[in-house]
Every structure is written in C-alpha cells, then in structure tokens.
Structure 1
C-alpha cells in the first residue's frame, strides 16, 4: 500500500455550472469541427457557438487541440460498437445486414460525429493513428476472420471480408459525410431517405451474401 502522504491528490469535483459549460463547449466544438474541419475552426468560433467568452473557454481547455482531442477520445469505441456486436455464433447474413443497418442509423443520429471522424481520417489521422493501427486493426482482423470462416462453411457467398467491411462503412457513412449532396439530389421529406437507404442496403447485402 502507498503511504497516504505519497498518494496523488484527488482532482476537485466539477460544479454543476462547470459540467454544463464543459458540455456546451464540446457540443459547440462538435458543430464547428463538423462544419469547417480542424483547420477551419477557431477557438473564437467555438466560444461564440458555446455562448462563452474565449478566456472562459480557455479555463476548461488549454487549446483547440485539447478540445479536439477530448471529442476524439472514446469516439472510436463508440464507432466500433456495432462491429464488436457481430456475433460469430449468429446467422451470418443476418449479422452482417444488422451491422450495416446499425451503421446507417448511426449516420442518421450522429452525423456530426461521423464528419468529425471523416475529417480526422482525411487529414492523415494525426490524432488517432495509434488507435487505428491498434484497436481498430485488431477488431477488423478479428471480424474478417469470422466472416472468412462463415464463407469457408458455405454460409456466405465468397468475397473479400475486409473489403466487405469497408463497403459497409462507405455505403452507410456516406449519408452523414455527404448529407448536403444527398439532400440536394433527393430533396427528401425529413429523413425518409434513410428509410429508403435501409431498404436498399438490406436488399443489396442479402442478395450479395446469400449463398447460391
């Protein structure tokens, strides 16, 4: 046991106002980074969106990088949760279709987070490369092996497992990352295009993956 005198001091608990201000900053930053990317976002813009002064913002976060890092922390875990949920003991086509539809739903309800992640990748993943080369790669390898095993058993039509996963990312996150283009082309009422997309993707993957 450590001597009490050598123990690290506990950080003081944040007050309700401090928690509220921190959350307001993160919400404002998520909007700003999703709209303008990391380079196009300033602390002044984040503070304005949060309804705080810049000095007040700097009380909570020392820099734009600190705000950006706080948003990215935990995002990968959230983003990969549906892939982790793919069950090796489940019915293969159902598991993959369910994964694709969950990813599409995330694009609908979390478009800002999707664009934040996309922006990080487009700029070379300077903040997230260790997570991408570590936990993400390990998870993709694990699930690709599950898919390959299903194919070897004849339970899925043969294809490249990793590119199958990439295709699901592309066909679902597109609706968040290119939302302006999608809406301009379809002019949907509310989010009806997500219902249409779900029907299309379910048909696409069922037909592509069901063994002949």
Structure 2
C-alpha cells in the first residue's frame, strides 16, 4: 500500500496542532496552580490525558513547555499591538484593542496569571525574550502612538506609559479575578461584567487621551 504523503500532510498538521494545544492548555493549568518547580511532566500528561512520551515528542523538557505557554500568551497580546499603524484612527482602533484584551483576560486567565507570576519573580525564564529585540519592538509600538499625537489625533502624553496603562488595566480582570468576583458577588464574572469593564475603560482612557469617543 502506498501513502499519499502530500494528501496526508494536512491531517498530520491538524493532529499535531490539536495535540500541542491540548498539552499547552494542560500545562497552563498545572503551572498556574503549582508553579514551575511544583509542576511535573507526568502531572501535565495526566491532565492532558496523554502518554508522557507524547509531551516529550512535542516539547523536549519542562522548561521548553513552560516557555512555550508563556510565549503563546505574549504573542496573543503582542499581535493585537502589531496591527496598529500611524494611518489608523485611535478613536476606532483603541476601543477594539481594549475589547480584545478584555476578551483575552476572560478566555486565557491562567496564562495571564502565570505570566504575572513569572514577571514578579524577575522573569528568570523570559530573559532571552526580553533581551532579543524587545526594546526595539516596544519602541516601534510607541512610535505609532507618537505619530497619532503628532497628527493631532491624541493629546501629547507619554506613549510608553499609555501602553503600560492599557496592559495593566485589561489584564487586571484575569490576574485579580478572585478579588473582582468577590467584590461584584459573581463567581465567575458574567458577560455583562466584561462588557461593562470594556465600556468603562474605553470611556476613561480615550477621554484621558483627548480622543473623541464616537
């Protein structure tokens, strides 16, 4: 029997993608609960309901898997900023960005908390990420905001600190979910809470930037 490798390749790719996603989600839960030191590849395999050998097929070791979980979360956040250009109107794209970040806080809360723990610990596993062109990437993002300021689309404020505000205010709903749920008496938060959070942040941040909310 002959195998049509070209025809079978898409199926193999889908299976690999599915298995990697299952492993990443299981690892995300295990690392968020027990930290890097407390988690083990066997526990992650059990949580993913896969043989331990499968984990090592896709990820060489625990550190590689931990780093992959962190980088997946970072890429989700960074990609939303990558789409912003000087030609955009901040009155249109900033509300979209805020809503997208609130969506990430709701859909991937464990990844956000794991990232926060890593940063609080001094980012020992992300040193390569932050030293490999990170400042240049960040400077490119602030340049977009500065261009909006120069074009009169925004008030003259510090773009870097505006980005920090956007990050912290949206990720707060993942990192401090327990506190927010207790304050609002909703476990978990309902759709209306996330919608209200988005609307409130959009109103306050855009007004603070001198952007006319449409």
Q: What aligned pairs does 1:30-45 form with structure 2 within 5 A after superposition?
A: 30-45=28-43
TM-score, length basis structure 1: 0.79
Match of 1:4 in 2: none
In the aligned structure 1, how far is the partner of 2:106 from the partner of 2:18? 26
CA pair 80-15 structure 1, distance change in 2 beyond 3 A:
closer
TM-fit CA distance, 1:209: 1.2
Match of 1:191 in 2: 191
CA pair 76-155 structure 1, distance change in 2 beyond 3 A:
same
Count of paired positions:
200
In the aligned structure 1, how far is the partner of 2:112 from the partner of 2:23? 18
CA contact (8 A) 1:156 1:209 kept: yes
Unmatched 5+ stretches in structure 1: 1-12
Please state if 1:201 is matched with 2:172.
no
CA pair 86-61 structure 1, distance change in 2 beyond 3 A:
closer
TM-fit CA distance, 1:197: 0.2
For residue 178 of structure 2, the aligned residue among 169, 174, 180 is 180
Match of 2:140 in 1: 142
CA pair 135-187 structure 1, distance change in 2 beyond 3 A:
farther
Match of 1:114 in 2: 112
Unmatched 5+ stretches in structure 2: 1-10
Please state if 1:153 is matched with 2:151.
yes
Match of 1:83 in 2: 81
Structure 1 vs Structure 2 CA RMSD: 2.9
TM-score, length basis structure 2: 0.78
TM-fit CA distance, 1:59: 5.9
TM-fit CA distance, 1:99: 1.9
Q: What aligned pairs does 1:53-92 form with structure 2 within 5 A after superposition?
A: 54=52, 57-58=55-56, 61-92=59-90
